[in-house]
Structure 1
Amino acid sequence: MTADIQHTPRHNPNASGRKPKQVTAGRVGLYAFIIITALFFLLPLIVMIITSLKTMDQIRQGGLFDLPSPFTFDAWVRAWTSACTGLTCNGVKVGFWNSIRILVPSTILSIGIAAWTGYMLSFWRVRGATVLFTILMVGAFIPFQVFIYPLVRVFSTVGIFGTVTGIVIVHTAFGLPMLSLLFRNFFMGLPIDLFKASRVDGASIWQIFRHIMLPMATPMVIVAVILQVTGIWNDFILGVVFAGPNNQPMTVQLNNIVNSVSGEKEYNVNMAATMITALVPLAVYFLSGRWFVRGIAAGAVKG
């Protein structure tokens, strides 16, 4: 007896990849909304870039969206080296290095102290921890403008008003409440058995923090860096009040360039100086943006 055995292929040879989804009105509307929203936010940036690459003769001809012909980076060079910030014409490079001198120690100190504070509030139940946490929570939501005049008086008394040390202390202190809250919530989500096992093995409080907790908190550290870098770099009022005339950050010098009323209004130089000022926060977001949402989700909903 013979039987005809029909071999049916398990996969359709004509099929390749996922079946395309049906185009619906809702999907078209969604993409249209996303594109329009993106253009709405990108339009000022596009205008700034185009204007910064034009000469003043091209700008006077109008045509806000006309591409520069030819492209020139002369405005960028002048904004960096010779733009006038008041009576001096040394460009924004002076403010850039002042901002770096303020940014680096402020970021390191605030993140280091906040991480240690959040760690202690989570695992090391010190006496008065609840009161300290309440104070941090209250301080996180009090407008910092309330503290400006008292701090000016205190810093003037101790002799650090108008110095880099003074502005670093201000940025560090104002960044601690929110950062401590984020780190505390992150560490509260870690198993307490990990801490207890380390103590049984003979690790000290500092060793546990340095070798176990801090490496696990990498996403939260990235979030803290983004928050502090953007907040300190973009700050204006604290720089005006506490930095002093010799330590003015980049935002203060940018304001002096844009609002200068002497001579010709050089819009291309103003736009170039604005773009140079924004490069550092943009670089931080592009390089570490994927960690931001992960860290916020890990530290904002626990505890």
Structure 2
Amino acid sequence: MLDTSALPGRRSIGQIIGRITIYAMLLIFATYYLMPLFVMLSTSLRPLAEIKSGSIIALPREITFDAWVKAWGQACIGTKCDGLSPHFWLTLKVVVPSVIVSTVLGMINGYALTKWRFKGANLVFGLMLFGCFVPYQAILLPMAQTLGTLGISNTPLGLGLVFTLYGIPFTTLFFRNYYVSIPDDLIKAATIDGAGFFATLWYIIVPLSPPIIVVTVIWQFTGMWNDFLFGAAFSSGAGQPVIVALNNLVNTTTGVKEYNVDFAASIIAAIPTVFVYVVAGKYFIRGLTAGSVKG
């Protein structure tokens, strides 16, 4: 007798139940993880009077963007009431160059450590790898003294230098592990044709590097943008990055606590990292699966 359960397009009751269970679990977990975002977004769009009189998970009866306007340009942070906008643009000016510089230096280091090996290369890589595991707190005082000696303490340049230096060990690790899988014959062929260190890097290595570049840029950007410790330690006043300013905004109370403004400010501070993941998230996964974390 023919077993119809094995025919294409026919599923057993057990398979159907298993599929339904999987989707139900995915829906439950998605709801669980998205609920805080829903609460933040709905609260930021409601007037303060409605927040006090209604449920925290209720949809807004009256949608207003007043909290967003205040969070961006009017909320008080310390003694100034300029909102998050100055700190947002300052953070962008600090983070973008730091990401670019640390990524480029990591690329050069990874290339040199894998394809232009020199005496002591493993020792150098080991020391740089050790830098990935040094606790942030251990370098605060030496770094503060260094920035003071250079005359760039409490400046955007000083903060960007800290971000860059602490990011180089990670970018070196990513690029080094990725370049290990590139055949050495490509480098030998370029060398025979007369290409030097940087010519080989530019014409051979860089065209093969987009997956790991995306991984590194996303890693660096999110880490620098979301950093609080370095921002609080190496900046002050109007020079503080957006995450530190957000903390000060939430903790600055002048009368009634405006939860809608706090939530709107939190979403504004998170928009750049969310945007980066939405735009380049699939390339981030491709970069990881292409060998960027293999070693």
| Amino acid across the alignment from 2:270 | A
Question: 94, 98, 103: which is aligned to 1:111?
Answer: 103
> What is the TM-score when the length of structure 2 is the normalising length?
0.93
2:222 is the alignment partner of 1:222: no
Q: 1:172 aligns with which of 142, 164, 167?
A: 164
CA RMSD in angstroms comes to: 1.4
- Residue correspondence of structure 1 range 87-236 to structure 2 within 5 A: 87-236=79-228
CA distance in 1, matches of 2:173, 2:26: 33
Whether 2:228 is the aligned partner of 1:250: answer no
Alpha carbons of structure 1 residues 251 and 116: separation in structure 2 relative to 1, 3 Å: same
Q: 1:69 to 1:20 in 2, by over 3 A?
A: farther
Q: Does residue 69 of the first structure (1) align with residue 73 of the second (2)?
A: no
User: Which ranges of structure 2 fall in alignment gaps of 5 or more residues?
Assistant: 1-7
Deviation sequence 1:133-162 (CA, Å, 0-9, x none): 010111111212111111111211221111
Letter in 2 for 1:250: V
Distance verdict in 2 for CA 1:21–1:207, change over 3 Å: farther
* 8 Å contact from structure 1 (residues 155, 161) kept in 2: yes
Counterpart residue number, 1:259: 251
Q: 1:214 to 1:61 in 2, by over 3 A?
A: same
User: Distance between the aligned counterparts of 2:293 and 2:70, measured in 1?
Assistant: 47
Cα shift readout 1:57-95 (whole Å, capped 9, x = no counterpart)? 110112112211221111111111101101110010011
Residues 1:20 and 1:151: Cα distance change in structure 2 (over 3 Å): farther
| Structure holding more helix per residue | 2
Unmatched segments (≥5 aa) in structure 1: 1-17
CA distance in 2, matches of 1:80, 1:301: 38
Aligned length: 286
1:239 aligns with 2:231: yes
Deviations 1:252-271 (A, max 9, x none): 11111111122211111111
Q: Could you tell me which residue of structure 1 aligns to residue 260 of structure 2?
A: 268
Give the % identical residues. 41
Deviations 1:26-69 (A, max 9, x none): 22221121111111110000000000000011101121122112
> Separation in 1 of the partners of 2:137 and 2:91?
21
Cα drift, residue 163 of structure 1: 1.0
The runs of at least 4 consecutive aligned structure 1 residues that moved more than 4 Å come to 20-23
1:54 paired residue number: 46
Secondary structure in structure 1 of the residue aligned to 2:55 = coil
